[in-house]
Amino acid sequence: MEELIPIVFMLTTGAVLILRPITKRLGLLLEAIAKSKMGTPGDAAAELALMRGTLEQMSKRLDLLDERQDFTERLLNSAQRRNARFAPGGTEALGTGNAGLFESERSADYLSR
């Protein structure tokens, strides 16, 4: 019986030395899983800050797109007005009548020359 005491002591010490790092890592893993399931307030605040930053960036991009669209619409409107002015019969649509034409162009007799 006396020979069993040192053998049991050595086996116990060896098992502790071998299994301690494994059990320590397992404990850390279980702790991390428990924290993620409970949802720490720090994580929620960080996620909220990230979401706020993303929304601000999207808002800036939408404002830029809105400005570009307004510019494009103004450019198209001015081009349409210019085309309507130079199109046949376009002077009547603008209400200028024959005011912009030369005297020789107001009468049709310049065509017969």
Which pLDDT tens digit goes with each residue over 71-108?
999 999 998 988 888 877 655 444 555 555 555 555 55
C-alpha torsion 55→59→62→63, nearest 10: -170
Q: Give the per-residue pLDDT at 42.
A: 67
- Least Cα distance to 21 among 9, 11, 29 occurs for 29
pLDDT, mean over the chain: 81
Q: Give the per-residue pLDDT at 37.
A: 81
- For the entire predicted model, the pTM comes to 0.40
Q: Given its phi and psi angles, is residue 102 left (phi above 0), alpha (psi -120 to 50 degrees) or beta?
A: beta
Q: 55 is written with which tokens?
A: 């929304």
Residue 47 is classified by DSSP as H
What's the CA gap between 27 and 35, in Å, rounded? 12
Q: Which residue has the higher pLDDT, 78 or 113?
A: 78
Confidence of residue 34 (pLDDT cuts 50, 70, 90): confident
